[in-house]
Amino acid sequence: MANLKEIRNRISSVSSTMQITSAMKMVSAAKLKKAQDAITAMRPYADKLTELLQSLSATLDADSGSKFSEQREVKKVLLVAITSNRGLCGAFNSNIIKEVSKLTKVTYANQEVSYIAVGKKANDAFKKTNRVVANESTIFDDLTFDNVADIAQTLMDKFVTGEYDKIVLVYNKFKNAATQEIMTEQFLPIVPIEADANVNLDYIFEPSKIEIVEQLIPKSLKTQLYKGIRDSFASEHGARMTAMHKATDNATELRDQLKLTYNKARQAAITNEILEIVGGAEALNN
């Protein structure tokens, strides 16, 4: 059994760890509230805008289709891996890394695959593969629509110029503090939804349907990417809060066990000392 000093040191170490994890949990809980409100507020707008653009794209003739809807043979694929800059958030980052690796080895095994890392964890995981063409880790230092729009514009340019034939976003969709869903979402080309016979798409457009679509599609794509990063940002804080909550509970349980072990060891030491004293007294009497 470890001596009393070693047990006291372990109790002190575990208590310090528990204070750190508890503080990180509270910080993530505070940040989660703001991030959750942001993604909850923008999700209906982003989803409706995407649905509208897909519906309009479905009604365009092949010759007048948008350059962002061009379907061509997929030879080069760009995967946008959205992770966090920091760890201590459970399987949040590893799930994205595993999904990107799976897409590379299975889904796009016959294509040339490259990565854009949004977050340091993705960059650290893939930088040795020589597939990372850009590292956008600094986006989380100032997460605004304008900054994300610059990344989206770069992606659109890479697709239009033919540098990549397909661009896919991989991120965690926020459901609640304890649940995140891995999303594999095609960014480009835009896939028009099949027109439903029961849905009336016969609108009057001014100035014209093509001009409206051409102006709205870039905005829709920027919004789509911003929503994905916002989803991931909220998911990160939810995952970290849950992970730190579990870590705090585990540290509390371990500390209590160590205290019990310490008390037992201390009691045994006191009993041994009493027995030695009694034994010595009896020896003197004899």
Q: Residue 251 maps to which CATH number?
A: 1.10.287
Same domain membership, residue 127 and residue 69: yes
Residue 27 sits at φ, ψ, to 5 deg, of -65, -45
**Closest CA relative to residue 244, chosen from 7, 25, 2:** 25
Supply the pLDDT for residue 201: 58
Same domain membership, residue 279 and residue 213: no
Q: Catalytic annotation on 38?
A: no
- The two three-digit tokens of residue 176, written as one number: 């609640």
CATH number, domain containing residue 180: 3.40.1380.10
Helix count and strand count (H, E) for the chain: 5, 5
- The range of the structural domain enclosing residue 272 comes to 4-15+245-285
CA distance 266 to 53: 73
Catalytic residue chosen out of the listed positions 11, 24, 53, 89: 89
CA distance 166 to 158: 10
Same domain membership, residue 251 and residue 190: no
Same domain membership, residue 107 and residue 185: yes
Count of domains observed in the chain = 2
Same domain membership, residue 120 and residue 214: yes
Supply the pLDDT for residue 61: 54
Same domain membership, residue 265 and residue 233: no
Same domain membership, residue 273 and residue 222: no
Same domain membership, residue 264 and residue 162: no
Same domain membership, residue 92 and residue 182: yes
Supply the pLDDT for residue 64: 46
CA distance 148 to 160: 19
Same domain membership, residue 250 and residue 238: no
Supply the pLDDT for residue 259: 92
Amino acid at site 61: D
Same domain membership, residue 277 and residue 210: no
Same domain membership, residue 185 and residue 64: yes
Quick count: other Cβ atoms within 10 Å of Cβ 208? 10
Tell me how many degrees the CA angle 181-30-255 measures, rounded to the nearest 5: 90
pLDDT, one tens digit for every residue, the chain (286 residues) = 568 888 899 999 999 999 999 999 999 999 999 999 999 999 899 888 877 777 766 666 544 456 888 888 999 999 999 999 999 999 999 999 999 999 999 999 999 999 999 999 999 999 989 999 999 999 999 999 999 999 999 999 999 999 999 999 999 999 988 889 999 999 999 876 665 545 555 667 777 777 777 778 889 899 999 999 999 999 999 999 999 999 999 999 999 999 999 998 888 888 888 888 888 877 777 6
Supply the pLDDT for residue 197: 46
